[in-house]
A and B are shown apart, each in its own frame.
Chain A
């Protein structure tokens, strides 16, 4: 199956700092997505990327679809306490079940006030 390596596993930052996390895969994806999951909740979609090289922003969040189609990164600028949570990358392989996603293991983000 597809292997997604997400790093770092956890981050501890101060409010106002910028954050960067990334994800690499063992094979090509045609879609990359970034989700945030709060405790006791399901993942919530933050950003979807559909083309290699695509750079997309959603407020303070920016994500890029790598040129090789095997990687993606997510940046969060000027972090605030409500950014705390687990961030997951997910990829979709055109050759797989329509819509089936492969997830990374997540990056746990802690923001100190």
Chain B
């Protein structure tokens, strides 16, 4: 596609439910990032993939968070046993090379845990 596509745009989950958020990066982009954006804050790094390899997951807040990119294209961020503090916008970004500073962001998935 022309840009980074994320789905769903909005997700409401009951506390304790598992959720899966999808990211379709720009075709051919090597680098893929997940960021978490709380209300009124800037995006915070979660994890980074270079093709299918997850090279940095230091930003994942707990072991309830898991991300994968098995074929080096589409990525899924999974949150198990959601908590209220997980409520945020989850942004996916991709970039062409491994330097990746000029990243293109998707519209994000707004997750609300009730």
Query: In this assembly, does A42 line the interface, its C-beta being within 8 Å of a C-beta of chain B?
Result: yes
A4, A35, A88, A99: the one contacting B33 at CB < 8 Å is: A99
The reply to whether A98 and B91 form a contact with Cβ atoms under 8 Å apart is no
A 38-71 to B, binary, CB cutoff 8 A, 1 in contact else 0? 0011111100100000000000000000000000
CB contact under 8 A between A101 and B45, given known A42-B91, A43-B91: yes
Query: In this assembly, does B106 line the interface, its C-beta being within 8 Å of a C-beta of chain A?
Result: yes
B 44-57 to A, binary, CB cutoff 8 A, 1 in contact else 0? 11001010000110
A92 proximity list for chain B (CB < 8 A): 101
Query: In this assembly, does A33 line the interface, its C-beta being within 8 Å of a C-beta of chain B?
Result: yes
Chain A's closest residue to B103 (CB) is A99
Within the complex, the shortest CB–CB distance from A34 to chain B, in Å, comes to 12
Query: In this assembly, does B73 line the interface, its C-beta being within 8 Å of a C-beta of chain A?
Result: no
CB contact under 8 A between A45 and B55, given known A98-B48, A103-B42, A106-B42: no
Q: How far is the CA of A82 from the CA of B53 in the complex (A)?
A: 40
Q: How far is the CA of A35 from the CA of B103 in the complex (A)?
A: 10
Chain A interface helix/strand/loop/mixed:
strand
With an 8 Å Cβ cutoff, the count of chain A residues facing the other chain is 25
Query: In this assembly, does B99 line the interface, its C-beta being within 8 Å of a C-beta of chain A?
Result: yes
Q: How far is the CA of A45 from the CA of B93 in the complex (A)?
A: 11
CB contact under 8 A between A105 and B41, given known A41-B107, A97-B56, A99-B101: yes
A 76-113 to B, binary, CB cutoff 8 A, 1 in contact else 0? 00000000000010101000011111111110000000
The reply to whether B102 and A45 form a contact with Cβ atoms under 8 Å apart is yes
Chain A's closest residue to B10 (CB) is A40
The reply to whether B105 and A103 form a contact with Cβ atoms under 8 Å apart is no
The reply to whether B99 and A98 form a contact with Cβ atoms under 8 Å apart is yes
Given contact pairs A40-B107, A48-B101, a sample of 8 additional A-B residue pairs in the complex whose CB atoms are under 8 Å apart: A41-B108, A42-B4, A42-B107, A43-B43, A88-B42, A97-B55, A100-B48, A100-B56
Q: What residues make up the interface of A, taking CB atoms closer than 8 Å to B?
A: 4, 6, 31, 33, 35, 40-45, 48, 88, 90, 92, 97-106
